[in-house]
Structure 1
Amino acid sequence: MIRTPASRRHGFSLVELMVSVVIGLLALLFALRMVGGAEQTRRSALGGSDEMQNGMVALFSLGNDARSAGYGLNDPIIAGCNTQFSDTKGYQLAPATRGTTDVTPLAPVVIEAHGANPDRVTFYAGTSIGGTPTLRLTSDAAAGATQFDVDRIVYGFNQGDVLVVAPEQPGGDCLLVQRSDSDPTATRVTVAADAGMRFNGGTPTATFKGYAARVFDLGPVGSLAFRSWSVADGYLQLQATGPDDASAQPSTVAEDIVSIKAQYGFDTRTGSAFQPQNGLQVNQWSAAMIDADGSGTAGDAADWQHIAAVRLAVVARSKAVERPAAGAACTTTTAQPVVFADAAPVGVAAVPTTVNVAVTGDPVDWRCYRYRAFETVVTLRNAGWRPNP
């Protein structure tokens, strides 16, 4: 019979137990570090994926509007015209400056530049399938007139269509209203403030002379593409004239968008060198209006007709917050992003813009996030497809 020594009948020794505990703790610590690292990597990857997706959606949305901008508004008579407008649902035309005067021009794009903070960018386009038909006024129209006598039957001008009344010579104000009558054989357009005509309110002061003003048809109000993009509290927002999204408050389109920036691309050729019917070119980028036509006044109607393209940038933020070491500051992002730093097209000086990515009210330091900037240049094709003066 084999006997087990007394020293072996009482299990593990204290030394063996302590060694086992230490090895177990080391293994647990290693496993926790692996899990923590994998979780951080997963969060960063998911945050980067959301950042890419949100940024691409935002840039596509703005770029899509830019590609359609100016349709129906490219006639030199109304392009850049200071327009009086009232909407019962609260949409307002974007403000701009003409010299030292505040105006609300009709143009393919209007940029409200805010330095390093997010810009507000507005795109305008009509939708008339008739190629924006026009009529000439045959009698004077006083301020607040609800009827306009025209030179021929108003065929193609349907009830509810959005109309722009504009003087043929630049300098006067335009008026944006809706046709309220439905007589296809009439030689008169009525714009009474009926219940269903959302643009026929307000107290317009514009006056028009017979045989010196025109009426343009931009198409049905339900498909009018007046769309303003902005950023608030990390969300991309849209305010528009569409039937589903028109209200005094903008609707949210994408999250984790901390800024949008835009610049006009001007064709600065002047005099006989400026032949838009032969094509436009970009010679200068600017977030503000310039005296592109050399008239001495920055932002007059002709300057808006010198816009050949728009440069857009969207800055998206990751969802994941990169936590710093205890007592240390975040270093995930150490400098504010810079957009528009590259020359586009080649030979045209870039105007780099530093973007403030801090979100108002966010308790987390902006340096704890990752950011990605998305940029594009969109040619305003409708600007070149204009009728000759």
Structure 2
Amino acid sequence: MTRNSAQHGLTLVELLVGLATGLVVLLVVSQVMQSFEGQKRTSTGGNDSQTNGAVALYLLEQEIRMAGYGLFGPEGAYCRNGINIYKDGGVVKNAEPFAPARIIDGGAGPDAIVVTRSQAAGDALPLSIVKAMPNPSSIVTVGSDGGLKEGDLFIVGAREGNKVCTLMQLSRSPQDTGNGVNLNHNSGAGSPYNPSKISETFSDTEAYEIGDIAFVMGDGGMGRRFSVPPDGCDHLVESDPVVQDLDEVTCANSMRMVAQVVDLQAEYGVVDGGVLTWVPATGSWAALDADEILQIRAIRVGVVTRHPQFEKTAVPAAPAPAWMGTATSSLIAANPNYRHRVFETVIPLRNVIWAP
């Protein structure tokens, strides 16, 4: 009988060689995949930063273009002599200038932009006062209700703009008396904008007469304020425009609008003698007077976004326009391992431009 030859498998050495080869291939594939994923995150992150920057500029442009809506008439600004504003037990403005758009300079940090306009659900046409208003009084009598409802804000002033305006809050629904519509603005828990004794609250209180006006601001407050809080949450946020101090706004007490925004800078476009110049909100332009407000025809805005992906090696710094200042350049230079994108635009204040 013939014996079959023995069948031989892989030797131990061959198994070890195959295993080593497989490990090398796996390592190479892993490194390739890791590199690919890193490039994909960088590419995707760049797209996110691009999108967020564009969205931030879009939101700012849409709102700033509307600055002053409802605050101007054929005779010009209704509140050229200033405005009285009270809220939550404190005086916010005491016959002080009333700007449609205002920049709060942040010094070495981000700026803030405050936009004031009517946010009425309907039109913002002024309502004529049909009955002289005693000073003080908790009732303003106008010809129609103008779509006002309880809780809405409205401003009382002169059509020619020669009186100090006063912000009021409707404490109950408009009351039609047959000889006009009464707008009640009593103080109380539900009316934080109404002081209990208006004549003792402000230094300059007006007696509004027949022919003067009330114009609707709506239920959305006095406007909108945009800023980048200093607490490091990297968001463009919206907050109460009445708040003055930059440090008071945090991501916790504001509404987050756009992520990855780390800086916001702005300048006034001022027309004096037919020439447009750009000035920061510092020096005499930090606290605007009535003449300066009417010279402001545009706002130049710069936004910086940062992708949160940390790069192992430093990336090329995003160049920022010189007008945005050293604060922006320092912010980018201090974070060389993060990718930044810089956006800027010029936004005209069309309601100011169209005003007489």
TM-score tier by shorter-chain length is 0.7 to 0.9
1:227 aligned residue: 224
**Map 1:1-389 → 2, pairs under 5 A:** 11-12=10-11, 14=13, 20-75=18-73, 76-79=76-79, 81-88=81-88, 105-126=97-118, 127=120, 129-135=123-129, 141=135, 145-147=136-138, 153-156=142-145, 158=148, 160=150, 161-166=152-157, 173-180=164-171, 182-183=175-176, 185-186=179-180, 190-201=184-195, 204-210=201-207, 215-219=212-216, 221-223=218-220, 226-232=223-229, 233-240=233-240, 249-269=253-273, 283-288=276-281, 299-322=288-311, 324=312, 330-333=313-316, 335=317, 337-339=319-321, 341=322, 351-354=323-326, 355=328, 366-386=335-355, 388=356
Point out where structure 1 has 5 or more consecutive residues left out of the alignment: 96-101, 242-247, 274-281, 325-329, 342-350, 360-364
Kindly tell me: are residues 331 and 149 of structure 1, through their superposed partners in 2, closer, same or farther at Cα, counting changes over 3 Å?
closer
Number of residue pairs matched by the alignment? 328
Shift in CA distance, 81/290, structure 1 to aligned 2, threshold 3 Å: farther
Q: CA deviation at 1:219?
A: 1.6
Mapped partners of 2:218, 2:260: distance in 1: 32
Change beyond 3 A, Cα 1:122–1:134: farther
Closer/same/farther in 2, CA of residues 77 and 383 from structure 1, 3 Å limit:
closer
Structure 1 residues 250 and 29: CA distance shift in structure 2, 3 A: same
User: Counterparts of 1:353 and 1:318 in 2: how far apart (Å)?
Assistant: 21
Deviation at 1:309, TM superposition (A): 1.1
- What is the distance in 2 between the residues matched to 1:131 and 1:302? 24
Say if 2:80 and 2:161, in contact at 8 Å, map to a contact too.
Answer: no
C-alpha deviation, 1:195, in angstroms: 5.0
SS of structure 1 residue aligned to 2:272: coil
Counterpart for residue 246 of structure 2: none
TM-score by length of 2: 0.74
3-state SS, counterpart of residue 228 of structure 2: strand
Once structures 1 and 2 are overlaid, which stretch shifts more, 203-212 or 33-42?
A: 203-212
**2 CA distance for matches of 1:92 and 1:61?**
30
Amino acid at match of 1:53: T
When residues 252 and 50 of structure 1 are mapped into structure 2, their CA distance, relative to the original with a 3 A threshold, is same
SS at match of 1:72: coil
Change (3 A) 1:216 1:172: closer
CA contact (8 A) 1:266 1:309 kept: yes
Supply the distance in 2 between the matched residues of 1:214 and 1:208 (Cα, whole angstroms): 17
State percent identity of aligned pairs: 25
Note the residue ranges of structure 2 that are not aligned, 5 or more in a row: 242-251
Query: Over residues 82-121 of structure 1, what are the superposed CA-to-partner deviations in whole Å (9 max), with x where a residue is unaligned?
Result: 4332234x9996x9xxxxxx98642221111113411111
The change in CA–CA distance for 1:104 and 1:371 in structure 2 (over 3 A counts) is: farther
RMSD over aligned Cα atoms: 4.2
Give the C-alpha shift of residue 49 in structure 1: 2.6
Q: Tell me, yes or no, if the aligned pair for 2:298 and 2:349 is still in contact at 8 Å.
A: yes
Q: 1:125 to 1:29 in 2, by over 3 A?
A: same
**Partner Cα separation in structure 1 for residue 77 and residue 271 of structure 2:** 19
For residues 199 and 255 of structure 1, the distance between their equivalents in structure 2, rounded to whole angstroms, comes to 32
Q: Name the aligned partner's letter for residue 305 of structure 2.
A: A
1:291 CA displacement = 6.5
How far is the alpha carbon of 1:53 from its aligned partner? 2.6
On the 8 A contact 1:318/1:369 being kept in 2, the answer is yes
| Residues 270 and 278, structure 2, Cα contact 8 Å, conserved in 1 | yes
Whichever residue aligns with residue 379 of structure 1, its letter is P
Question: Matches of 2:38 and 2:105 in 1, distance apart?
Answer: 37
Counterpart-to-counterpart distance in 2, 1:62 and 1:187: 37
Q: Distance in 2 between matches of 1:179 and 1:82?
A: 21
Counterpart Cα distance in 1 of 2:303 and 2:259: 12
Q: 1:71 to 1:182 in 2, by over 3 A?
A: same
Larger relative helix fraction: 2
Q: Check conservation: 1:169, 1:212, Cα contact below 8 A.
A: no
2:83 maps to a residue whose letter is: T
Q: Deviation of residue 27 (structure 1)?
A: 1.9
Alignment-mate amino acid for residue 125 of structure 1: R
Deviations 1:272-326 (A, max 9, x none): x6xxxxxxxx61112216769xxxx97211110111111122221113222x2xx
Native 8 Å contact 1:177 1:199 kept in 2: yes
Deviations 1:175-211 (A, max 9, x none): 2113445245249765321554342137631434557
